[in-house]
Amino acid sequence: MKISTGIFWFLAFFFVAVSTVYGFLTDWEAVGVAALYLCDGLFGLVGGYLLLIARHSAVAADDPVAEIEDDAGEQGVYAPWSWWPLGIGASAAIAFIGLAVGWWVFYIGLGSAVFTLVGFVYEFNRGQHAH
């Protein structure tokens, strides 16, 4: 985990330098500079996430004499019975179609996406699988 964190932080700082040099060489061309700074933000977000996760978990990948099965166990919560992800995907498809067809279709997709996202988030708070 430490190596992965270091790689992503290195790439984040690398893209800051590349973006700045690219900006000076192209007289701050808007699209390229924005894309490169967004790459920097992406690598920074992943590096920050890995840094936070590495503080709270002991990963066998950091131990040079660890075995593969040392990382076995529960990795997170997954609800295989859930239909909410299908609804979120369909709502996103409707919203993206709405960008091409008309704004009224987009708003229908956005409303259904909010509904299904709230249902997905609160899935474990009510009903059969409530904690």
Q: How far apart are the first and last CA of the chain?
A: 31
Let me know if residue 72 belongs to a domain: no
Distance CA 41, CA 11 (A): 10
Let me know if residue 130 belongs to a domain: no
C-alpha 77: how far from chain center: 16
Local confidence band at 131 (pLDDT 50, 70, 90 cut-offs): low
Indicate the number of domains in the chain: 2
Q: Quick: pLDDT tens for 38-73.
A: 999 999 999 999 998 888 776 767 778 878 787 777
Residue 129 pLDDT greater than 70, yes or no: no
Residues 6 and 60 in one domain: yes
| Domain assignment of residue 16, given as a range | 2-65
Residues 6+ apart with CB under 8 A from 57: 1
Residues 50 and 15 in one domain: yes
Let me know if residue 107 belongs to a domain: yes
Distance CA 120, CA 68 (A): 33
